[in-house]
Chains A and B, each alone.
Chain A
Amino acid sequence: MNAFFATVRRDLLLAMRRKSEVLTAVFFFVIVTSLFPLGIGPEPVLLKKIAPGILWVAALLATLLGLPRLFAADHVDGTLEQMALSPSPLGLLVAGKILAHWLLCGLPLVLLAPVLGLQFDLDASALGILTLALLLGTPLLSLIGAIGAALTLGVRGGGVLLALLILPLYIPALIFGAGAVEAHIAGLEVGGHLSLLAAMLVLAAFFAPWATTAALRIALE
């Protein structure tokens, strides 16, 4: 487990040295969500209705923006090969990198979402559900995205390809994440949505590092 935490610490440290990369994705999230009212119009009833969907789609795209960097730098300077050769299992190190990616790209979105939700006239309890859903959903996005990032590592046109591969797989997270908030606004029970999100998170936490490791080994061959 030491290797796991060392990887997390290393990736966080590297990101802190180059803050702009992390901040870009966060600003992207803020700007995209602010564009929608400008495009659709300032009517509060409509904005409140579409807020969960917009915030979730923006979160998907912001996560996607950070994914190509997950393995790219380590692949270029050979760190990834050293990781594959190291005595600690590669899956554990990959899991550490995914956790670091979530802390850098996912967690800021979770923390910002309530503030952005205020722009859309969501009330306090809806904001709470939104934050909770994103807290369960964004790690899922990082985990699934890591598979795509590993598959497209060093491939021509990797960034666009990554979107094509990963976005269809994000659909269940989008449906249940945004659905939880919508159900809450409509006065329905949200437990089911959140449970399903949590179930998918558990499933992905088990399988995704494994599939990512397999994809990385193929890329390193």
Chain B
Amino acid sequence: MRQSLIQWFKFASPQSFYPLAGRMIPWFWAAAAIFGISGLWISFFVAPTDAQQGEGYRIIFVHVPASWMSMFIYLVMAFWAGLGLALNTRVSAMMAQSLAPTGALMAALSLWTGALWGKPMWGAWWVWDARLTSELILFFLYLGFMALQAAIDDPRRADKAGAILALVGVVNIPIIYFSVKWWNTLHQGSTINLNKAPSMAQTMLWGMLLMALAFWMYSIAVALMRVRAIILERERHTEWVKHAVE
């Protein structure tokens, strides 16, 4: 038990995490490519045309994984931020910082593909649906986190302030989600109801799951690449970085 604990904390040091991340990145890229290609193949060529929505529904193979990842990444980001705050491990805070842009990208992608899907299906780029609205607010939360970190010059203070913001955000996300949901049901006669989606064909589900895995692997690969860059930038005064860059 004691031995394993030491092993875990070994990678809490930037110096030992940097090469580990470097070794993991190609694997995650490979996994992302495999899942992505098979997922795209299923979603474009195997999955049947939807009876009600035609070919336009195929955007959900990007939209749904992006939405899932945008929510999941916020949780992971808050987890690393909280860990960094509690244990004062520098790599945890760097992980949180490196995840934020990918999370924001996923939220933006989800909003954008949602608009592309909404125009042919609902006849509107945007409706004030509960899910759309809460996704938009999640996007704002990511932007706030990134803006706060960017505005503070001292990286240690930026880490800690960002961690508190991420944790406050995590407490608030369920409150925001349910308040938006109730607000929506109060205001809107149910013209559009996402919950009554027609049951999905088996192949569609497979395509979506593969795409979700591809997005997941991509997010990990990109976050690890970014965390390596952050490590180099912050540890540039140390000897090992000078050797690593050479």
Given that A168-B137, A171-B180, A218-B157 are contacting pairs, would A151 and B164 also be in contact in the complex, using a CB cutoff of 8 Å?
yes
Tell me the dominant secondary structure on chain B's binding face.
Answer: helix
B168/A169 in contact, CB under 8 A: yes
**A164 contacts which chain B residues (CB < 8 A)?**
140, 143-144, 147
A196 to B186, CA, bound (A): 15
Nearest CB of chain A from residue B116's CB, rounded to whole Å: 24
A175 lies within 8 A of chain B by Cβ: yes
Chain A 182-218 interface 0/1 with B at a Cβ cutoff of 8 Å (1 = within): 1100000000000010001000000100010011001
Partner of B179 from A151, A155, A158, A176 at Cβ < 8 Å: A176
- Interface 9-residue window, one of B20-28, B46-54, B169-177, B233-241: B169-177
**A169 contacts which chain B residues (CB < 8 A)?**
168-169, 172, 176
A175 to B181, CA, bound (A): 10
B151/A171 in contact, CB under 8 A: no
Partner of A151 from B156, B161, B175, B183 at Cβ < 8 Å: B161
Given that A200-B175, A218-B160, A221-B157 are contacting pairs, would A168 and B141 also be in contact in the complex, using a CB cutoff of 8 Å?
yes
Task: Count A-side interface residues using an 8 Å CB cutoff.
Answer: 29
B124 lies within 8 A of chain A by Cβ: no
A218/B183 in contact, CB under 8 A: no
Chain A 151-178 interface 0/1 with B at a Cβ cutoff of 8 Å (1 = within): 1100111100100110111011001100
Can you offer 24 A-B residue contacts whose CB atoms are under 8 A?
A: A151-B164, A151-B165, A152-B148, A155-B151, A158-B151, A161-B144, A161-B147, A164-B143, A167-B140, A168-B137, A168-B141, A171-B137, A171-B180, A172-B172, A172-B175, A172-B179, A175-B182, A175-B183, A176-B179, A182-B186, A183-B186, A207-B171, A218-B161, A219-B161
Q: In the A-B complex, list the 7 residue pairs whose CB atoms are closest, starting with the nearest.
A: A172-B179, A168-B140, A218-B160, A175-B183, A165-B144, A175-B179, A155-B151
Q: Measuring CB to CB, which residues of chain B are less than 8 angstroms from any residue of chain A?
A: 137, 140-141, 143-144, 147-148, 151-153, 156-157, 160-161, 164-165, 167-169, 171-172, 175-176, 179-180, 182-183, 186
Known A-B contacts: A156-B153, A172-B179, A175-B179. Give 20 more (CB < 8 A). Answer: A151-B161, A151-B164, A155-B151, A155-B152, A161-B148, A161-B151, A165-B148, A165-B165, A167-B140, A168-B137, A168-B140, A169-B169, A169-B176, A175-B180, A179-B182, A179-B186, A207-B171, A218-B157, A219-B157, A219-B161
